[in-house]
Amino acid sequence: MYDIVIVHAHIVDGTGSPWYEGYVAVKDGKIAAVGRLGTVAAKRIIEANGFVVAPGFIDLHSHSDFALLADAKAESKIRQGVTTEIIGEAESAGPVLGPALPELDKELAAMGLKRSWSTLGEYFAVLQKHGMAVNIASYVGSGQVRLDVMGNVNGTPTAVELDKMKALVDQAMRDGAIGLSAGLIYPPNSFATTDELVELAKVAARYGGIYTSHIRDEGDHEPEALREAIEIGERGRLPVHILHFKMAGKQNWGKIGDMTALIQAARNRGIDVTADQYPYVAGMTGLQMALPPKYLEGTHQEVVSRLRDLKSREEIRKMIAVGVHGWENHVQGTGGWHGVMVAAVQKPDNKQYEGKRMDEVAQLMGKDPVD
């Protein structure tokens, strides 16, 4: 006799076959049988009434690294059917040391958390002890190891610094990372050169890892950005995965076929390239990404100090209005400030602006959107 049987379910089994009506039987906490209509004995019968029953979904791009420590139940994911989360994109929960610690510890404190780990392996142990409702797998972030060694500064690492970064990737891969990740629009990731990323990718490749990337540009200069990701995989000798594959900006809509052709050409050369995509025309990131990269270098306080400088503000205003070569201007890409919506804020006084467009927020404040 089974412990639980879900009956009269529309079963989508993950094989690509059409759904069928049937049952799912559970015994000792594991799925014991899946079948079509019939009589099955169980201690508990759950009537699905035609609802879909499917294997758990995998969230390929999650940033729940610390949220899982704050809320182990992960109901926001579980109730959507997500049972596995892939974390560690761009920056990872480990390894963390040196210049990375002050800002990270502030972030954790704001969530009511205190860090008790340095390596990725130690972070995994903390998660395991804490308990969690989902399975997780993590990359090691290229931006993370750069931040650990160099801080949030532009520039090419010295040979010694690069060796330290490679050693951190090596340790993380031995700790169980599934590969190397990069978010190349976000500092300090955006400061990394192709050659630097190739060297880190080679380390991940030794352990059977992959290279996954939020590529350097998803708009007007996406062809070059996609070629860079493919080059990193080819030179690093490891598979490549492109996160949230898209052509951003209305001026680029309809060009995605050119990008898939680049991927297919790489696959034809024997390079393992894949991509994921979501089915809507919005994106989500921090509002700071409306700023040109030069204004995002350094600590949080250094960034804020620049924004208080009137001369800097005027330069930012001009850069957003006319663009800068090599910078994916998100404000222009969305068609202007009306295309930028505030999804969530931290300060209670700013809650009134959630769900409003930036031009609306500016009007309510009596300010220019840049200010």
pLDDT for 36 equals 87
370 is a domain residue: no
Domain that holds residue 355: 288-365
pLDDT for 40 equals 84
**Statement to judge: residues 39 and 80 lie in one domain:** no
Q: Which of 25, 19, 20, 23 is nearest to 7 (CA)?
A: 23
Outline where DSSP puts E strands in the chain: 2-11, 20-27, 30-36, 42-47, 52-53, 57-59, 82-87, 135-138, 140-141, 179-183, 210-214, 240-242, 273-275
77 is a domain residue: yes
- Contact, 147 vs 157, CB < 8 A? no
pLDDT for 326 equals 80
**Statement to judge: residues 160 and 263 lie in one domain:** yes
**Statement to judge: residues 138 and 176 lie in one domain:** yes
Residue that finishes a domain, picked among 275, 308, 335:
275
**Statement to judge: residues 191 and 298 lie in one domain:** no
DSSP assignments along 268-321, one per residue: HTT--EEE---SSS-----GGGGS-GGGG-S-HHHHHHHHH-HHHHHHHHHHHH
**Average pLDDT, 10 consecutive residues per value, the chain (371 residues):** 96 94 96 86 96 96 97 96 97 97 95 98 98 98 98 96 99 99 96 98 99 96 98 99 95 94 98 96 92 90 92 93 88 93 94 97 95 90
**Statement to judge: residues 123 and 271 lie in one domain:** yes
**Statement to judge: residues 314 and 187 lie in one domain:** no
- How many helical (H) and strand (E) elements, i.e. helices and strands, does the chain have? 13, 13
**Statement to judge: residues 116 and 207 lie in one domain:** yes
CATH number (domain holding residue 127): 3.20.20.140
Our count of domains for the chain comes to 3
pLDDT for 38 equals 75
CATH number (domain holding residue 38): 2.30.40.10
Nearest 5 degrees, angle CA 52-CA 56-CA 58? 130
Break the chain down into helix, strand, coil percent, rounded to 5.
Answer: 40, 20, 40
pLDDT for 181 equals 99
**Statement to judge: residues 114 and 189 lie in one domain:** yes
Tokens of 213: 């990337």
**What is the rounded distance in angstroms from the CA atom of residue 199 to the CA atom of residue 170?**
11
**305 Rama class: left (phi>0) / alpha (psi -120 to 50) / beta:** alpha
336 is a domain residue: yes
Nearest 5 degrees, angle CA 229-CA 181-CA 281? 70
210 is a domain residue: yes
Residue that finishes a domain, picked among 240, 275, 310:
275
281 is a domain residue: no
**Statement to judge: residues 30 and 63 lie in one domain:** no
pLDDT for 103 equals 93
**Statement to judge: residues 39 and 62 lie in one domain:** no
**Statement to judge: residues 126 and 37 lie in one domain:** no
Residue that finishes a domain, picked among 11, 28, 53:
53
135 is a domain residue: yes
pLDDT for 300 equals 87
**Statement to judge: residues 115 and 200 lie in one domain:** yes
